[in-house]
Amino acid sequence: MGCTSSMWYSKTVDEALSALQVDPAHGLSDDEASSRLATIGHNELEERGIKSPWAILWEQLTAIMVVILIIAAAISFLLGETTDAIAILAIVVVNAVLGVRQEYKAEKAMAALKQLAVPSVRVRRSGALVSISARDLVPGDIVFLEAGSSIPADGRLVESANLQVEEAALTGESVPAEKEWAWQGQENTPLAERSNSVYMGTSVTYGRGMFVVTETGMRTELGKIATMIQSVDRSPTPLQVRLDNLGKVLAVVALILVGLIFVLGLWREGVSHLRELFLTSVSMAVAAVPEGLPAVVTIALALGGQRMLVRHALIRKLLAVEALGSVTVICTDKTGTLTENRMSVRSVVAGGKRFDLPVEPATLGQSPSLAIALSIGALCNDAQWTKAEANRKTKAIGDPTETALCEGAAELGLDKVRLEQAMPRIAEAPFDSVRKRMATLHKVTSDAPVRWLVSPGEPAPAYVTCVKGAVDGLLGVCDRILVDGAVHTIDQRHIDDTLRTNDALSSQGMRVLGFAYAPLNEPPQETTVGKLECHLVFAGLMALIDPPRPEVNDAVALCKTAGIRPIMITGDHPLTASHIGSELGLLEHGGKAVTGLELEAMNEDELRRSVGHSQVFARVAPESKLAIVDALQKNGEIVAMTGDGVNDAPALKKANIGVAMGITGTDVSKGASDMILLDDNFATIVAAVAEGRTIYDNIRKFIKYLMTTNSGELWVMIAAPFLGMPLPLLPLQILWMNLVTDGLPALALGVEPPERNVMRRPPSKSGESIFAHGLGIHVVWVGLLMAVIALGAGWYYWSHEAAGSNGATRWQTMTFTILTLSQMAHVLAIRSGRDSLFTTGIWSNRSLMLAVTATVLLQCALIYVPFLQKVFAMVPLSAFDMAVALALSSVVFWAVEAEKFVLRRTASQ
């Protein structure tokens, strides 16, 4: 076929047809098409490298934490603790099933991509127009398009008539792209500006055309995206990294403990207690492993996901909930996320004056020029608006620009239905891409709500022609202009002033249209373009834009307060992106967007520097989106990426958190994402970040609680032999604390309400240990404090009762009880990392208070119920002993409260 270049848009039609060796009047012969199909293959997207469910399951089961849990379950079986072992294995199974299910769903994103192919198309083969399967298309096929057609392959237009194609899924453009077969591009023209080309996965919204197929299957732009999706390796979430590191540390600690406690016990007790020493050592090793951690994490993430759903964020992967809390950069699309995804009239320049909408309806009476311009916009318009819904601006249906013109007029009382009733359309000259104008002819009745201004001496018109279109072209067919409420002959000064206004508004990224009219005493005999578009009065121009969502400014400001950098990445025009970026505070006024072409010219170091300080990127291709995310991650950022189109899918998959749009998003983008915004709103992402931070805080509180209590138990067991004491805790008592004392309060910590400063602090740093910000130090000193209090009291009772009294186990009961109550005091104190319990409110987490109460009651049952006394080797404590235990255990609470007081004072200085 000759040509292997992908830059078909830079070739003329004749050059493209020659390279593809095809005559458009005849098409490919059946034999040639079959030969090319055998050489190139079917026009379909291929699935490559998808993991099987078994491979995903193996990855789940070989994670460090899971391996430790499986070993803990096996040891529990050896110790005869069947219930504990079954509970641990149940946790492993549930987490593995959830993980496999969610990851396999992500792997199947390609299935949605394949559905974008159309089943059949109309092509010319061997001189005849035939319908064939889209799978059988080959380069050189001549394909026909009409409104509603899905485009089955990439191609170069051969013919077009008013052709408009919806390409938002590939380019991010908020309005359909106008296509023109005669246009010829330059090298490296961005995809969104290639007016002579069409692409697989897009659709025709208006007009008709014919194109020659240039690329099929995986060689299309859609196929390139499919390749990127399947080649992207998803980054692990911060929580996955931190839990994996924690698992490695705990594995080492558990092995050391088994040996240390066994040796110490052997030194103190001798070989006569070998079996008990082994059981105790292994019990302590099991206690060092927080087997409840996966359950707490899963429950906390699931509950967080439910709360996010109420706030219009649907979580597809549980770990994404926490990862949101670690996000340092949010890369967001513009259309529909930062903006309202609807065109809106921003400014009207009429009669020599500028009106920035909204304005008071009374302004119409003071400015007939404004009323005329708005009326032309509503009358010269094919958008549909039913009479019953004429006052409901959101019910205009049609082209986004035309619906915006209708809504702008309706806001000032000039609704389309009333205007058309008073001035019915009797003829029209449709828009075409050559004139870039549309004209309509209307009869003016006595009920007309608009006073059409005429030149001095002219009577009120019986008919009026309304014209809208590109400003420069429209000025060329106008001989008069409205200035200060009167009609004047147009001169060069008027033209220059109008073009300067047009350029100024366009430079702000707005779409500008001109409006004109011709007052007539009788309709023209011929309603041709030449007859309708003559002797026009230039009425003014309107600037339209997709406006920012009103709540986004506050959300962007909150991001900055929280140490998160919002970045806009869009396929839109750089001027539009820069204007919206400035309005939202992403860019300093006068700042410029970085374009996709500029990004492609950068080397890796330049790209990393650019993404380190640039806030707005425009005309960005899928490859560049992926490169931006990759560069940010190499800079150490935790990246959330939003998107709705097929072109966003690779970057969504690559990002730490992929966020798809629920309303405008394609199935492909949703399949590659971790979270779906049901309202397509940037503010929802920020709310989800706050929820993610709360969940991570609660997971850290759980780890702080569990590791501190476990370290307290370990210090007691290690220190006792050095004081000449027997081992103070029995294996069953250790397992009781591990299962009950640790379990219930820890689960309740997972639903702790957010702290008041959750969005007033920077996110946790990439690679940061889960023990950062003083958690590790807290574990050590509070664990030591618990051990000193419990073992000190135990030593006192043991030394006073060791001489033949019948209180041989009372000291163990006191040690065990003080440790348990100290843990309850500790869990109450760590509910907030900074604020006092009395500030947060004792009952603000009712679940935790109930868990603490239940644990204390269960501990009392061990002490005072005869059957349980025997099982756990306990003796009943007197009221005085219980009072001593309560008083000593409360020391932990007051010590932690003092620590928080110091932290608050230090932070305020």
User: What positions carry a catalytic annotation?
Assistant: 333
Dihedral sign, Cα of residue 706, residue 711, residue 714, residue 720? negative
Angle between helices 64-78 and 293-310 (to 10 degrees): 130
Query: In this structure, are residues 410 and 390 in contact, taking their beta carbons and an 8 Å threshold?
Result: yes
Contact residues for 842 (Cβ-Cβ < 8 A; gap 6+)? 828, 849
E strands, 147-186, are 154-166, 177-178
Question: SS3 for 558-599, per residue?
Answer: HHHHCCCEEEEECCCCHHHHHHHHHHCCCCCCCCCCEEHHHH
Determine the 3-state secondary structure of 349 from DSSP.
strand
Distances (CA, A) of 501 to 326, 409, 517, 855: 46, 21, 20, 75
Query: How many angstroms separate the Cα of 903 from the Cα of each of 18, 695, 823?
Result: 77, 22, 22
Q: How is 295-315 classified by DSSP, letter by letter?
A: HHHHHHHHHHHHHHHHTTEEE
Instruction: For strands 425-432 and 353-356, give the pairing.
Output: unpaired
Tokens found for residue 363: 């302004």
Q: Token pair of 134, please?
A: 């889209």
DSSP string, 845-859: SHHHHHHHHHHHHHH
Q: Which residues pair with 438 in a beta bridge?
A: 468
- DSSP helix/strand/coil, 687: helix
Alpha carbons 48 and 732: distance in angstroms, whole number: 53
Phi, psi of 182 (to 5 degrees): -80, -15
Count, in order, helices (H) and strands (E) of the chain. Answer: 35, 24
Give DSSP secondary structure letters for 717-774.
HHHGGGGTPPPSS-HHHHHHIIIIITHHHHHHHTTPPPPTTTTSSPPPPTT--TTTTT
Which phi and psi angles does 353 have, rounded to 5°? Answer: -120, 150
Is the separation of the CB atoms in 222 and 206 below 8 Å?
no
Rounded-to-integer distance, Cα 480 and Cα 516, Å: 9
One DSSP character per residue, 834-898 reads SS-HHHH-TTSSHHHHHHHHHHHHHHHHHHH-HHHHHHHT--PPPHHHHHHHHHHHHHHHHHHHH
Query: Number of C-alpha atoms within 13 angstroms, CB side, residue 224?
Result: 17
